[in-house]
Amino acid sequence: MFAPGIFKGHRILVTGGGSGLGKEIGGRLLELGATLYICGRRESVLRDAADELQQRYGGQVIPVAVDIRDARAVDAMVARIWEDGPLTGLVNNAAGNFVSRTEDLSANGFDAIANIVLHGTFYVTQSVGKRWIEQKRKGSVLSIVTTWVRTGSPFVVPSAMSKAGVDAMTKSLATEWGRHGIRFNAIAPGIFPTEGATARLRPGSDPHAREIADNPSGRLGQMHELANLAAFLMADGCEWLSGETIAIDGAYHLAQGAYFTHYMEWGDEQWRESRERIKAQTEA
């Protein structure tokens, strides 16, 4: 789908890049020539991921342990990366989430999510962005949100609120920092199963049966599809693309809000009968 080496010379930080979606996206950028920085809280997870990705794709992966909820630690990490050379791109992927009735949440429970997703994403983005502005360098920021930024979502309100904030940041800074050559886009993925999300969001058995049945495409997302969209959005070839949030969910969130989705179950016979009935009624 992409010419080999299109990310040569790019230096990209992926937050939460040691596992899940972040690792897959980072892997694709690495495979296409980027130097990859991955950060997360657990050093051993990051090291294992870096080894695995380098073995699979070659290139250079630099793991950096940091808690993105800590603004000072974030700025120190970005300063350390800059000692090797400036970043050219940032993927805001780190997140936390769990399902809970909203009336059962404590303030700490809300903060556990908002501190990572809303505050942490801002800390990293600002720390990288201010260096780009200071040094008159262009840059690209891609944030991973969810389709909940369009629909809201019950039982994950701290995440829905925080991701909506990241979506607002994407649009706001696309405008404010566009004059500095910094662009912002977001991906709103549907369900690309990862261990972390399945354990915290779908704790029962057969966690995806209903979502597969209700998805117009009849399946879940495949990681390479998400990684390819991320690579497309980060590539130099679409530099004028900024301020957009692109959903990749097989049209699931649209189908949930649409009328007539039960007609999906109709076969030829029902469509023939329906046509005859409409004709009879409109001619009567």
Residues that bind ligand HXC (CB under 6 A): 95-98, 100, 106, 108-109, 112, 116, 146, 159, 190-191, 196-197, 200
Which residue number, 181 or 196, has a Cβ lying nearer to ligand HXC? Answer: 196
- Comparing CB distances to ligand HXC, the nearer of 143 and 146 is 146
Q: Smaller CB distance to ligand HXC: residue 149 or 235? A: 149
Least CB distance to ligand HXC at residue 222 (A): 15
Task: Quote the least distance from Cβ 221 to ligand HXC, whole Å.
Answer: 9
Q: How far is the CB of 190 from ligand HXC (least distance, A)?
A: 6
Nearest Cα neighbor of 147 from 254, 15, 221 is 254
Distance CA 250, CA 259 (A): 17
Residue 116 or 230 having the CB closest to ligand HXC = 116
* CB 23 to ligand HXC: min, Å: 13
Long-range contacts of 233-239 (CB under 8 A, 24+ apart): 233/140, 233/142, 233/185, 233/187, 234/7, 234/10, 234/12, 234/29, 234/89, 234/91, 234/140, 234/142, 235/2, 235/6, 235/7, 236/6, 237/6, 239/138, 239/140, 239/183
Which of left, alpha, beta for 9 (phi over 0: left; psi -120 to 50: alpha)? left
Residues in the chain: 284
For ligand HXC, the closer of residues 64 and 95 by Cβ is: 95
Whole-number minimum distance, CB 69 to ligand HXC, in Å?
A: 8
Long-range contacts, stretch 133-138, CB < 8 angstroms, 24+ apart = 133/177, 133/180, 133/182, 135/86, 136/180, 137/86, 137/88, 137/181, 138/88, 138/180, 138/181, 138/182, 138/183, 138/239
CB of 85 vs ligand HXC, minimal distance in Å: 30
Between residues 1 and 107, which has the closer beta carbon with respect to ligand HXC?
Answer: 107
